[in-house]
Amino acid sequence: MSLMGIGILKGLGVTLRHFIDTYAEDLKYILNKSGVQQPRPLRRQSPKNRGLVTVEYPKERLPLPENFRYIPFLVKDTQTNDDKCTSCGICAKVCPPQCIWIVRTEDPVTKRPVPQPKQFYIDTTICMNCGYCAEFCPFDAIKMDHNYELSYYPEEQPHKRLIHDKHILTKPDTYHAAIHPSDWQRELAEKAAEEEKKRAAAEAKAKAAANPAAAPSSTQPPASA
């Protein structure tokens, strides 16, 4: 350093530029003639922004990315009014802190398991929001929620602990579709493909039934062999 103080001045220049940039950004916003304005939180969080970055929660909110994950919820099929969950227990197995408890339904007569959860608990005070349950669920029955406003007073919850049971956890698939649009599209596409496959299989079967002579040889070659 040749001259004492140059370095400090250079640094002060940076802070000055930051100060001016905030006004420049606002001017740009005001003078924008195209009329199409991004919502303020989006504009402020864009990597192109040089001005202020503050998002005035709770008046305005940052848009949440689709992948965002908070406490999980169970999806209910609104068409059939059934839980999608079959209580297979995979989510309980992959849960790292073991915060999922599932009671499987038993048929009252045969005592055989019924693919329906009788009760489903998620201890949100243990859950680490890792998203494994949603990732490994083979039935798309459990998804990660976007609702992070879950603060509570101690007197609001028994044991002062927020434990979600099946009643709280269950949310309609329309909600799921709204917060996870592309995931929902994928589900629909998979469902359509499956139905198509089923239809094709049924058609083939019908064809085979119409033509019984060909059926045994085509569907059961080992039996005839």
What one-character DSSP code corresponds to residue 5? Answer: T
Within 10 angstroms of residue 67's Cβ, the number of other Cβ atoms is 10
Q: Taking CB under 8 A as the rule, does residue 86 contact other proteins?
A: no
What one-character DSSP code corresponds to residue 34? Answer: S
In the complex with other proteins, which residue's Cβ is closer, 27 or 128? Answer: 128
Tell me whether strands 72-77 and 142-144 are parallel, antiparallel or unpaired: antiparallel
Query: Can you tell me which of 28, 93, 186, 198 binds other proteins, judged by CB under 8 A?
Result: 93
CB of 190 to other proteins, least distance (A): 15
Query: Can you tell me which of 35, 36, 80, 153 binds other proteins, judged by CB under 8 A?
Result: 153
- Over the window 173 to 212, marking each residue x when it contacts other proteins by CB under 8 A and - when it does not, the resulting string is ----------------------------------------
| Residues in Cβ contact with 136 at an 8 Å cutoff, skipping those fewer than 6 apart | 90, 91, 94
In the complex with other proteins, which residue's Cβ is closer, 64 or 178? Answer: 64
Query: Can you tell me which of 108, 154, 212, 222 binds other proteins, judged by CB under 8 A?
Result: 154
Interface with other proteins in residues 112-141 (CB under 8 A): 113, 119, 121, 123-132, 135-136
Cα 125 versus chain centre, distance: 19
Q: Taking CB under 8 A as the rule, does residue 5 contact other proteins?
A: yes
Query: Can you tell me which of 42, 55, 208, 215 binds other proteins, judged by CB under 8 A?
Result: 55
Query: Can you tell me which of 38, 77, 78, 96 binds other proteins, judged by CB under 8 A?
Result: 96
How many residues comprise the chain?
A: 225
Which amino acid is it at 80? T
Within 10 angstroms of residue 91's Cβ, the number of other Cβ atoms is 24
From 63, 76, 65, select the one nearest 180 (Cα to Cα).
65
